[in-house]
């Protein structure tokens, strides 16, 4: 012991002050032996049938090129504790992998004569005789469970799989003749590797490759604008589980009203259901009571939930497949709306209906949905004597005064990311006509801050948003996939009463 004290200990080894790993030969042999069979592997995933079509779309504009799509790595939270892993959405879309199997994995679409061949490079589990088995907190079976073997991963995904140690060779193959693109934001180590390979092959790399890499990211974002049948089912399921989460919130309202941080009670109730039924939250829950509803990204959720107030809850369950819902309901804490709360709520609801009706019209562009909602809200604000100009002037590009009370967008695409397809071009997103398979939100609101001197006193401190998830059907009609989550004043009041009496 005294000898050890005198040895200078590097910072990297300070973890040994907490617990020292046995490393005798006898221990290694002993811990590697005497184990029975592992449980049966998971088998082919349903999503595997959808991957070839997704790969074809992904590769279409990039004939003859190699495309590198990393999952991303683990991110240190502090010392040897990592954040929970969540793959980059482009990787999730093209592999269908869920859970936490794939940190540091990389999907490569290798060019072939007819298109591309997808190969998944990953780190399979090590043998029980290895040090990794018991000593590696990131990958070891003792620490994170038995990761799949190469064969099991092939079985699950239907993809050809290769050891991550062969990634460099895989990318460098024919690199002189084959251009290489990478989703550069997903994993800095893989981006560096690709740049090294490109540099050695005399290809544009680093900043000179940014444009071609951005084109890949943009394309992979755009191919997610239209959901396939698997994705549509997942979105419906995410919404259903999110409804259950909202019912947990309703059940928790009485307890929340008695807790000094009632908003946290509501956040926790939803979060528990999200972890029980899915991977977790699609984004941090907003549980905003009273005037907090007027802070658009209120995620502190550390305020009280007072009797007589509304509570705005914006929450979505992300399933194991990583598809997320995005729902907002504004609920009266006591189960009934007051007159001014109801007046504002019904104006917002009318904006929802108008936006949905516009989306049903043939040829509707994404941007028109917002316009329809704004027309309704500007008219109400004019009628209430709140707008300093006419609704018409406010709605003109040079006006926009009504946006003081509705400063955010009305819609965004939804899917693997809550703000899905975020790198799509404007002509594919905002200016595009709605198409079958598109999934997006409609989420107008009105926000009257407590210190807003321009609105009637009884409106101050009230914020309302109603957010639904929408799908464009095969025949071009649109459907609220959240239609089973009550949202009219009467339905919300009845819902609260029913859930609390169960």
Residue 21 or 419: the one with the smaller Cβ distance to ligand GLY is 419
Q: How far apart are CA 129 and CA 146, in angstroms?
A: 14
Task: By CB under 6 A, tell whether 326 contacts ligand GLY.
Answer: yes
Task: Give the nearer residue to ligand GLY in terms of CB position, either 277 or 326.
Answer: 326
Half-sphere exposure of 421 (CA within 13 A, CB side): 22
468 binds ligand GLY (CB under 6 A): no
Residue placing its CB nearer to ligand GLY in the complex, 187 or 314: 314
> How far is it, in rounded angstroms, from Cα 320 to Cα 279?
5
- Is 314 a binding residue for Mn ion by CB under 5 A? The answer is yes
Sign of CA pseudo-dihedral 455, 458, 462, 465:
negative
Q: Which is nearer to Mn ion, 277 or 443 (CB)?
A: 443
CA 54-221-153 angle, 5° bins = 45
Closest CB to Mn ion belongs to which residue?
314
**DSSP E strands, 223-294:** 280-281, 286-289
With CB under 5 to 8 Å by kind, the binding choice for 341 among Mn ion, ligand GLY, none is none
Beta strands in 75-214 (DSSP E): 76-78, 81-82, 106-111, 116-122, 160-163, 180-182
Nearer to ligand GLY, 139 or 283 (CB): 283
By the rule CB under 6 A, 213 interacts with ligand GLY = no
Strands 180-182 and 66-70: parallel
Residue 314 CB, nearest approach to ligand GLY (Å): 5
- Establish if 469 lies at the interface with Mn ion (CB under 5 A): no
Of 178 and 296, nearer to ligand GLY (C-beta) is: 296
Instruction: Kindly state whether residue 248 participates in binding ligand GLY, applying the rule CB under 6 A.
Output: no
Helices (H), 319-395: 339-360, 366-383, 391-395
Q: Which residue among 153, 351, 418, 464 contacts ligand GLY (CB under 6 A)?
A: 418
Going by the DSSP 8-state scheme, the letter that residue 390 receives in this structure is: -
283 binds ligand GLY (CB under 6 A): yes
> Least Å distance between CB 444 and ligand GLY?
11
**How far is residue 416's CA from residue 421's CA, in Å, rounded to a whole number?**
9
| Chosen residue from 410, 423, 441, 482 binding Mn ion by CB under 5 A | 441
Tell me which of ligand GLY, Mn ion, none is bound by residue 283, counting a contact when its beta carbon lies within the kind-specific cut-off of 5 to 8 angstroms.
Answer: ligand GLY
Residue with tokens 């919300």: 492
Separation between Cα atoms, residue 274 and residue 152, nearest integer Å: 28
Cα torsion through 287, 289, 295, 301, rounded to 10: -40
Out of 187, 309, 443, 469, point to the residue binding ligand GLY (CB under 6 A).
Answer: 443
Residue closer to Mn ion by CB (options 186, 327) is 327
Give me the residues that bind ligand GLY (CB under 6 A), please. 283, 314, 326, 412, 418, 443, 467
Footprint on this chain of Mn ion (rule: CB under 5 A): 314, 326, 441, 443, 467
């Amino acid at each position: 012991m005294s000898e050890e004290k005198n040895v200078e200990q590097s910072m990297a080894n300070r973890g040994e002050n907490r617990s020292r790993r046995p490393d005798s030969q006898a221990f290694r042999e002993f811990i590697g032996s005497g184990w029975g069979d592992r449980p049966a592997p998971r088998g082919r995933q349903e999503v595997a049938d959808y991957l070839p079509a997704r790969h074809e779309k992904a590769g279409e504009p990039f004939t003859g090129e190699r495309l590198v799509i990393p999952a991303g790595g683990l991110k240190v939270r502090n010392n040897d504790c990592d954040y929970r892993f969540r793959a980059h959405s482009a990787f999730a879309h093209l592999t269908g992998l869920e859970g936490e199997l794939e940190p540091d994995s990389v999907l490569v679409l290798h060019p072939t004569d007819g298109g591309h061949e997808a190969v998944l490079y990953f780190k399979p589990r090590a043998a029980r005789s290895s040090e990794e088995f018991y000593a590696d907190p990131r990958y070891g079976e003792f620490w994170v469970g038995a990761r799949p073997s190469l064969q099991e991963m092939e079985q699950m995904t239907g993809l050809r799989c290769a050891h991550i140690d062969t990634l460099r060779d895989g990318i460098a193959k024919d690199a002189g003749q084959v251009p290489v693109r990478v989703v550069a934001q997903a994993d800095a180590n893989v981006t560096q590797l690709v740049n090294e390979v490109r540099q050695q092959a005399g290809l544009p790399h680093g900043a000179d490759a940014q444009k071609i890499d951005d084109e890949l990211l943009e394309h992979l974002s755009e191919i997610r604008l239209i959901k396939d049948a698997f994705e549509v089912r997942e979105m419906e399921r995410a919404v259903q589980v999110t409804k259950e989460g909202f019912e947990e919130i309703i059940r928790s309202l009485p307890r929340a009203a008695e807790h000094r941080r009632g908003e946290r009670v509501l956040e926790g109730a939803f979060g528990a259901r999200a972890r029980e039924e899915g991977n977790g939250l699609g984004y941090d829950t907003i549980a905003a009571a009273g005037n907090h509803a007027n802070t658009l990204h209120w995620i502190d959720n550390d305020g009280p939930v007072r009797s007589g107030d509304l509570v705005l809850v914006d929450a979505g369950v992300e399933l194991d497949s990583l598809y997320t819902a995005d729902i907002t309901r504004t609920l009266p804490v006591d189960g009934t709306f007051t007159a001014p709360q109801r007046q504002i709520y019904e104006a917002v609801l009318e904006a929802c209906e108008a936006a949905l009706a516009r989306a049903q019209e043939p040829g509707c562009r994404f941007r028109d949905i917002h316009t329809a909602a704004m027309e309704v809200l500007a008219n109400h604000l004019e009628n209430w004597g709140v707008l300093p100009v006419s609704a018409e002037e406010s709605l003109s590009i040079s006006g926009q005064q009504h946006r003081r009370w509705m400063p955010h967008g009305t819609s965004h695409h939804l899917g693997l990311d809550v703000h899905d397809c975020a790198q799509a071009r404007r002509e594919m997103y905002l200016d595009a006509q709605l198409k079958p398979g598109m999934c997006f939100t409609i989420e107008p609101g009105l926000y009257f801050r407590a210190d807003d001197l321009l609105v009637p006193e009884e409106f101050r401190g009230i914020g309302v948003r109603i957010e639904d998830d929408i799908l464009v059907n095969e025949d071009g009609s649109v459907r609220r996939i959240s239609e089973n989550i009550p949202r009219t004043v009467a339905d919300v009041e009845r819902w609260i009463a029913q859930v609390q009496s169960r």
